[in-house]
Amino acid sequence: MLLVLATMITSVLGNVIHTNHYGSLQDSQYDRPGEIEPAIKSMVSRMTLPEKIGQMTQINQDLVLLPDGTLNRTAVEYYANNYFVGSYLNQLSRLDHIHGAHFVANATIFPHGINLAASFNPQLAYDAAAITARDTRSAGVHWTFAPVLDIPVNKQWPRVYENFGEDPHLSGVMGVAAIRGYQGQYKSDRSKVAACMKHFIAYGAPWSGQDRDSTVVSDRTINDYFVPPFQMAIDAGVATAMESYIDINGEPVVASEKYLRQLLREQMGFKGMLVTDWAEIENLYTTHRVAASHKDAVHMSIKSTSIDMSMVPKDVIFFETLQDLVNDGQIPMERIDESVERLLQLKKDLGLLERDGWKARRELQSMVGQPSDARVSLDAARESLTLLKNANATLPLQDRYERILVVGPSANDLGHLSGGWTINWQGATKDAWQGPIDDEQFYSNGISIHDGMKLVAPANVDVDYMAGFDIDGTSIDMDQVLAVASSYDAIVVCLGEHVYSELPGNIHDMALPSGQVNAVEMIAKVGKPMITVLIEGRPRVLGSIPEQSNALLQAYLPGPWGGLAIAEALFGKLNPSGLLPYTYPKYVGDVNLNYWRQVNDVWDPLYEFGHGLSYSTFEYSNLTLYDGASVLQENRQLADSPPVLKPGEPVKVAVKVTNKGPFDGKQTVLMYVQQPVRRITPPVKVLKAFQKIDLEKGKSATVVFTVDADMFRYTGMDGVARGTLDHGPVRILINEHVMEFNLQP
């Protein structure tokens, strides 16, 4: 049954070419939060204080569920009548549907955010989000906590895979595409949900690499690298936002007027609804230790910030405490009204105030799990696969090897392909840290690497599987593997890490378990061509594995259909086109390496951001100025008199890309900017634009980019966010080609 479904998907899909339309709407047609309607203001003016605070209260569903998981109607009535609770966490109200509606039975699960980033194809982020929104809405849920727009500076951090990579521009572009997919015209389209940009802000740079630990970072870094993707999300009309667990330089974000009112609301212009993360107000007292009591914590967070909803989530103490603070005159009623107006406006926009609004879900339920959804998931996995090494053209395998042995814990496990936030918070796999969960939880919606290889392999090729070792690197049957390995023509080793999310994914060593590294070394001694496939949520330090492997394929967390995509890449049915969306460290101590480092920083990664090989060779030539129709000047003529670049006067550049290889393929063209000298030590380079193109072998295409002076703005000595623009020489970098401009402020 599984192979039949996979065959159907493959035959229908082929190699989909996306048109980068990001939906059928024009930018101005996407809905966005705006001014509060008079009717909402009138409603709030007639509400009692308990009713208002109830709207600001979010509790977890386990308070109103019976032990068998069914709804406890008595509990619902209790919390409604006594506390006027306005929101429930998890299946009853909102979900962390960050890569598909994984809490909805038979819904399609997609590759994680890090895969979508590696694809450099925003259309895939849009399509996955649109399907996720529809499936989420089919369950009567109107809100998802996605997209995740943190910049994962620290590669040890367990939430790297939820994000769109370390680059601010890439993260912002993918985030905007996802927001448009989730939301669309959400004020009238009842197949859409409210998106939530998270986690505001600087959550991805914990100084220790441990989830929820303190972040030590400058305002300049926040302004120049952490703010941009969130600003792009706000400009795109994201409806909601979530603050982050952390403190920044000792200041907890949840109680920060600086970050949650001055920066988010006043400087960045966010008009949507803001929710806390799990128990963060209480954490001011219990964890951050900046409040002497829960009452102090509520006072600090509500009075100082613009938080609208408290994810309490286990009791009603927030409700009682905030009511006391207002009655005591410590928090003005106007502050409460501000939040309740935003909350009720959002509910109206989503149709929650419509008497029959729930009926729309019936039609949507019939659309859950349709084959076209799996095609999107498969294509996202395909375009994300990143070929890191391919010595002596080891790949593609094609029909060169008659017997292939597949080894490793990630080769036969859908849970490993899908990672955390999959069916369960901590993922679904037999060796999940929270306990075994059978792969049957996927309802057969997926295909493992081993099964994918059996399906894709040419008729003359046999593919066998042996476990070899487990995810901790402990031998299962390594003696048997080594005893028979020499009888095979090639060996595919599938490595990985435990399935995890958030705190349970904390590690103290970036190195892959030594048992996995040792197993690769032993297999390599057999002397057969060896291909290593990496299934991992963050870049684990690989030791000798790159050297021992003839080819190295990074698959990240490609989702349950990723096994088929990987098999296609291995056998040459697919030409890999993914690029690394982060810097891959070589050493365990280099957890904070990012390509946008300052020019004076030490730099020795295993692979750089943007690295990714193809079975074809793409040649870049003729970097030129461009007027929209023709070449103005070729780069070689510009050296003596670089063109002038001024604010408000953008120019266009063009570059020719030719597929010189034997395979059709996709290529992502990256445009970086560079300022050799400025008042604040500059970064080596920063990505400002990219385009993914599809080229048949022997064909060429001209790629055009717009260059704007604002691309060189940064936060200067005066501390004004991205307010400084130094004059002098600046450059754009495309592949190995450089064009210089004279920047005049």
**Residue matched to tokens 């070929």:** 387
In a domain, 275, yes or no: no
Owning domain of residue 703: 618-743
Q: Give the lowest-confidence range in 157-161, 359-363, 433-437, 576-580.
A: 433-437
Place 9 in a pLDDT band, splitting at 50, 70 and 90. very low
Beta strands (DSSP E) in 246-401 are 247-248, 251-252, 273-275, 310-311, 386-390
From CA 392, how far away is CA 149, in angstroms rounded?
38
Q: Are 407 and 491 in contact (CB under 8 A)?
A: yes
Torsion from C-alpha of 503, 504, 509, 510, nearest 10 degrees:
-80
Place 440 in a pLDDT band, splitting at 50, 70 and 90. confident
Res 95: pLDDT:
82
Paired residues of 689 in beta bridges: 671
390 in the same domain as 500: yes
CA-to-CA separations, 45 to 123, 305, 334, 337, 430, in angstroms, rounded: 43, 22, 10, 8, 53
Contacts of 596 (CB under 8 A, 6+ apart): 166, 167, 225, 683, 684, 685, 686
**Over residues 428-433, mean pLDDT:** 74
663 in the same domain as 529: no
**Residue matched to tokens 């509910």:** 347
In a domain, 34, yes or no: no
Cis geometry, peptide bond prior to residue 529 (ω within 30 degrees of 0): no
Place 3 in a pLDDT band, splitting at 50, 70 and 90. very low
Question: Which CATH number fits the domain that encloses residue 622?
Answer: 2.60.40.10
In a domain, 37, yes or no: no
Interval 634-662: pLDDT, tens? 554 445 689 999 999 999 999 999 999 99
Beta strands (DSSP E) in 180-234 are 196-200
The last residue of one of the domains, among 539, 571, 603, is: 571
Q: Give the lowest-confidence range in 56-60, 313-317, 358-362, 526-530.
A: 358-362
526 in the same domain as 626: no
Place 424 in a pLDDT band, splitting at 50, 70 and 90. confident
471 in the same domain as 555: yes
691 in the same domain as 564: no
Q: How many domains does the chain have?
A: 2
Q: What is the average pLDDT value for the chain, to the nearest integer? A: 93
From CA 108, how far away is CA 423, in angstroms rounded?
11
With residue 652 as reference, give the H or E element that holds it: strand 651-659
From CA 697, how far away is CA 136, in angstroms rounded?
41
Q: Are 276 and 300 in contact (CB under 8 A)?
A: no
521 in the same domain as 410: yes
Q: What angle do CA 627, 629, 632 make, to 5 degrees?
A: 45
Q: How many residues can be counted in the chain?
A: 745
562 in the same domain as 631: no
Contacts of 174 (CB under 8 A, 6+ apart): 113, 116, 117, 122, 125, 147, 164
The last residue of one of the domains, among 540, 571, 602, is: 571
Place 13 in a pLDDT band, splitting at 50, 70 and 90. very low
Percent of the chain, pLDDT > 70? 94
Q: Give the lowest-confidence range in 38-52, 250-264, 351-365, 609-623.
A: 351-365
Interval 303-312: pLDDT, tens? 999 999 999 9
pLDDT of 631 higher than 80:
no
Dihedral sign, Cα of residue 657, residue 663, residue 665, residue 668: negative
With residue 83 as reference, give the H or E element that holds it: helix 73-83
Contacts of 189 (CB under 8 A, 6+ apart): none
Q: Residue 108: what residue type?
A: T
In a domain, 174, yes or no: no
Dihedral sign, Cα of residue 499, residue 502, residue 506, residue 512: positive
In a domain, 10, yes or no: no
Q: Which two tokens stand for residue 711?
A: 């691309």
In a domain, 441, yes or no: yes
Ramachandran category for residue 294: left, alpha or beta (phi over 0 → left; psi -120 to 50 → alpha)? alpha
From CA 664, how far away is CA 675, in angstroms rounded?
36
The last residue of one of the domains, among 553, 571, 589, is: 571
Q: Are 274 and 243 in contact (CB under 8 A)?
A: yes
Q: Which two tokens stand for residue 597?
A: 């480092």
630 in the same domain as 561: no
Of 168, 151, 171, 169, nearest to 160 by C-alpha is 151
**Over residues 335-347, mean pLDDT:** 98
410 in the same domain as 544: yes
Interval 184-235: pLDDT, tens? 999 999 999 999 999 999 999 999 999 999 999 999 999 999 999 999 999 9
**Residue matched to tokens 């030594």:** 514
Paired residues of 71 in beta bridges: 65
Place 16 in a pLDDT band, splitting at 50, 70 and 90. very low
Interval 450-465: pLDDT, tens? 999 999 999 999 999 9
SS (H, E, C) 376-428: HHHHHHHHHCEEEEEHHHCCCCCCCCCEEEEECCCCCCHHHHHCCCECECCCC
Question: Which CATH number fits the domain that encloses residue 455?
Answer: 3.40.50.1700
Of 675, 687, 689, 683, nearest to 731 by C-alpha is 675
Q: What are phi and psi of 90, to 5 degrees?
A: 80, -150
Q: 3-state DSSP: the chain helix, strand, coil percent, rounded to 5?
A: 35, 20, 45
pLDDT of 592 higher than 50:
yes
The stretches of 391-535 forming alpha helices (DSSP H) are: 414-418, 449-456, 478-484, 514-524
Q: What are phi and psi of 572, to 5 degrees?
A: 85, 10
Q: How many CA atoms lie within 13 A of 424 on its CB side?
A: 17
Q: How many CA atoms lie within 13 A of 482 on its CB side?
A: 14
Interval 531-544: pLDDT, tens? 999 999 999 999 99
Q: What are phi and psi of 706, to 5 degrees?
A: -100, 130
**Over residues 600-622, mean pLDDT:** 96
Strand ranges of the sheet holding 618-626, from the earlier edge strand across to the other edge: 631-634, 618-626, 651-659, 700-707
Paired residues of 60 in beta bridges: 89
In a domain, 590, yes or no: no
**Catalytic residue IDs:** 277
Contacts of 370 (CB under 8 A, 6+ apart): none
710 in the same domain as 628: yes
Res 464: pLDDT:
98
In a domain, 664, yes or no: yes
pLDDT of 14 higher than 70:
no
Interval 662-689: pLDDT, tens? 999 999 999 999 999 999 999 999 999 9
> What is the CB neighbour count within 10 angstroms for residue 392?
8
**Over residues 171-178, mean pLDDT:** 98
Percent of the chain, pLDDT > 90? 87
How, if at all, do strands 251-252 and 247-248 pair?
antiparallel
450 in the same domain as 382: yes
635 in the same domain as 491: no
**Over residues 720-736, mean pLDDT:** 96
